[in-house]
Amino acid sequence: MRRVVITGAGTLNPLGHDVRATYAAMQAGRCAIDRLSCRDVDRLMVQIGAEIRDFDPLLHFGRGQLGLLDRFTQIALVSARQAMGQAGLEVDEALSLRAGVVLGTAGGGNTTVDDNYRTVFEDGKNRVHPLVVPRLMHNAATSHVSMEFGLKGPGLTISTACASANHAMGHALMLIRAGLADVMLTGGSEAMLCFGGLKAWEGLRVMARDTCRPFSRDRSGMVQGEGGAVFVFEEYDHARARGAEILAEVAGFGMSADAGDIVAPEPDGPVRAMRAALADAGLTPAALGYVNAHGTGTAANDRIEAEALGRVLGAGLADLPVSSTKSMHGHLIGGTSAVELLACLMALREGVIAPTVNFTQADPACPVDAVPNAAREARVDVAMSNAFAFGGLNAVLVLRRV
């Protein structure tokens, strides 16, 4: 079977504007959750979130191009440029036909939708900007990344709520394995920290008003964030032949559907997805050195995820670090598992496990070593990243040191 490795990584998220800054923030246990700055924030019941601060789009895009780019697309493009820069790929005519893009997003151009609904409904205008549709469409980020780098192979967007990026990266893996491409840019992005995007989540009554405390007994819900990450996935021999630096192997992918409740999680689906990912990687649970949990900080998710991990790991769970970096960067919805894969890469490459911050008290219902509050040094050879979406759609990736 064709093997797939990561040869580039890039990100724009609340913890940092690149991978280096994100690692530094994760190692310092910095929490980027703060008061939101969006328009009409005073009409929100929940006024906290993790925003990308100090990002000036005009430093990255020309004024003409920017008119086409919703914030979720800007995030994907900035991340993709970093990843391609690190990978050092020369996209010639032959490679352009063997390279593609698959990105995840849950809300697509949510901010564009919000702004233009405001224009027609609140401001009473009868005309919107002519390019609203190409800005808001879910595949906008994928298309702009393919255009920027001339990637003419497979191109698609995957939208599975909070598991979108993991599903996208899993499909990039499968496309390369299947021989449909040699290189795939993949990951995900999200930007829905606008009034409508926040108000919709508020309605579910699962948002925390203090901060995000995954696995902590006093957790009170999730906190939204914005951002994303993009990786260069490359066929192993292709990467070796050009002497590329290999960051890790994408060893396994597993997915499942709960086929149960539209919002309430249950352990069976996550258990099957984790087992499938490990089996795909040809590994046993004992090989795991770190798990980046879905860990949203809701009462239900963390309890169910701990139970699912217990079923997969058995007694081995007690000695396995399981952290949720959502405590630092917030829940980036469709882009979250892309940024969380960075925590897995950091564990494999830097030997540092990102902590779960804001953790005050162990919860007997969540018997995991959540790496509370402080990063930890450890040699990690295999890391797993969980994503369990609303709608019961689960996606799990396993990375291995090469």
Partner 1 sequence: MGLDMAYDTDDIAGAVTEIIAEQALVDPSEVSPGSTLAELGLDSLGLVECIFGIEERFGITVPFNANTPDQPEFDISSVGAIISEVEKLVARQAA
Contact status: 263 vs partner 1 (CB under 8 A): yes
Query: Residues 13-52: x/- map of binding to partner 1 (CB under 8 A)?
Result: --------------------------------x-------
Q: Name the DSSP letter for residue 276.
A: H
Residues in contact with partner 1, total (CB under 8 A)? 19
The number of residues in the chain equals 402
In the complex with partner 1, the residue whose CB is nearer, 210 or 245, is 210
Q: Mark whether 294 is an active-site residue.
A: yes
In angstroms, what CA-CA distances link 27 with 159, 305, 351, 356, 381? 30, 24, 11, 11, 18
Alpha carbon distances (Å) from 1 to 145, 178, 247: 28, 9, 20
Q: Which two tokens stand for residue 345?
A: 């890469």
| The one among 221, 295, 321, 392 contacting partner 1 by CB under 8 A | 221
Q: Note whether 89 and 176 are within 8 A (CB).
A: no
| C-beta separation of 47 from 41 below 8 A | yes
Binding string, residues 180-199; x marks residues near partner 1 by CB under 8 A = --------------------
Q: Which of 85, 179, 203, 351 binds partner 1 (CB under 8 A)?
A: 203
Does residue number 161 form part of the binding site for partner 1 (CB under 8 A)? no
Is residue 387 within 8 A of residue 161, CB to CB? The reply is no
Q: Which is nearer to partner 1, 33 or 342 (CB)?
A: 33
Q: Known catalytic residue: 331?
A: yes
Stretch that binds partner 1, among 23-31, 259-267, 271-279, 304-312 (CB under 8 A): 259-267
Residue 227: which of 339, 140, 314, 378 has the closest Cα? 339
Sign of CA dihedral 296, 297, 300, 306: positive
Q: Is 162 a catalytic residue?
A: yes
Task: At 65, give phi and psi (nearest 5°).
Answer: -65, -35
Of these residues, 162, 194, 212, 366, which one is catalytic? 162
Binding segment for partner 1 (CB under 8 A), chosen from 156-164, 243-251, 261-269, 314-322, is: 261-269
Asked if 133 is part of the footprint of partner 1 (rule: CB under 8 A), the reply reads no
Stretch that binds partner 1, among 281-289, 292-300, 355-363, 388-396 (CB under 8 A): 292-300
Report d(CA 385, CA 379) in Å as an integer: 17
Among 26, 163, 168, 208, binds partner 1 (CB under 8 A): 208
> Which is closer to partner 1, CB of 245 or CB of 261?
261
Stretch that binds partner 1, among 207-215, 242-250, 309-317, 382-390 (CB under 8 A): 207-215
Burial class (CB in 10 A: 0-12, 13-18, 19+), 130: exposed
User: Where do contacts with partner 1 occur on this chain (CB under 8 A)?
Assistant: 45, 203-209, 219-221, 261-264, 297-300
Q: What residues act catalytically?
A: 162, 294, 331
